Amino acid sequence: MQKVVIRQGDTVLVALDARVAPGQVLTVMGASGSGKSTLLAGLIGTLPRSFAMTGRILLDGTDVTMRPTRARRIGILFQDDVLFPHLSVGGNLGFGLPPGIPDRAARIDAGLAEMGLAGFAPRDPATLSGGQRARVALLRALLAEPRALLLDEPFSRLDTDLREQVRSLVFAQARARGLPLVLVTHDADDARAAAGPVVTPLGLPVAL
């Protein structure tokens, strides 16, 4: 992120200048309304028109600032898993998998097995537990072969045990694939587990 500044009117909501290395986690912390979700919207390219953004977003040296969301190849995990309710688990994963890749079903099954969800492909997402849903959402994001991953408080809806589990899974997977990660949270535990730099949306360092 090169000198990314997002304003609404005269108010500066986000001012960040940071580089996130592959496998590294940048944690952005702040109370609600502090501009965390504005930052995420700016990164994936869904800022409403009332916001003005300056600065550049570089991925592996490529400028993606002007690209539409679909061409940025930045994955996102929301607070709620946002599984598509009309598709099966396999359908959701297939949606993420880029077109033209052969052996789609096999890839999906392998991914599910890796996540400890072997045989879940025909299931209705609504019948899954919270932890299972979070894992499906993560797998879906990873199958799309992103070059970076954004996490929008993805663990806040899970209870403590599960949270720990899912969190380490996400970090491990990202690290294994060498993905830069941006985690937005208001939870100090998350920030600590991320083991990376922690800043506010305005770029000020946060002491945990």
Start-to-end CA span in the chain (Å): 23
Minimum separation from the CB atom of position 42 to another protein (A): 13
- Does position 57 interact with another protein (CB under 8 A)? The reply is no
- Does position 82 interact with another protein (CB under 8 A)? The reply is yes
Minimum separation from the CB atom of position 169 to another protein (A): 19
Site residue total, another protein (CB under 8 A):
34
From the list 10-18, 27-35, 100-108, 140-148, the region that binds another protein by CB under 8 A is 140-148
> What totals of helices (H) and strands (E) does the chain contain, helices first?
7, 10
Minimum separation from the CB atom of position 68 to another protein (A): 7
Q: Are 122 and 153 in contact (CB under 8 A)?
A: no
DSSP characters over 152-205: ESTTTTS-HHHHHHHHHHHHHHHHHHT--EEEEES-HHHHHHHTS-EE-TTS-B
- Does position 206 interact with another protein (CB under 8 A)? The reply is no
Minimum separation from the CB atom of position 199 to another protein (A): 23
Handedness of CA 101, 106, 107, 112 (dihedral sign): positive
- Does position 51 interact with another protein (CB under 8 A)? The reply is no
Q: Binder to another protein among 3, 12, 68, 110 (CB under 8 A)?
A: 68
Q: What are phi and psi of 66, to 5 degrees?
A: -90, 0
Cα 194 to Cα 24: distance, rounded to the nearest angstrom: 8
Q: Binder to another protein among 20, 34, 80, 175 (CB under 8 A)?
A: 80
Q: Note the maximum CA span of the chain.
A: 53
- Does position 182 interact with another protein (CB under 8 A)? The reply is no
Binding residues vs another protein (CB under 8 A):
44-46, 48-49, 68-76, 78, 80, 82-86, 88, 95-96, 98, 124-127, 140-141, 144, 146, 150
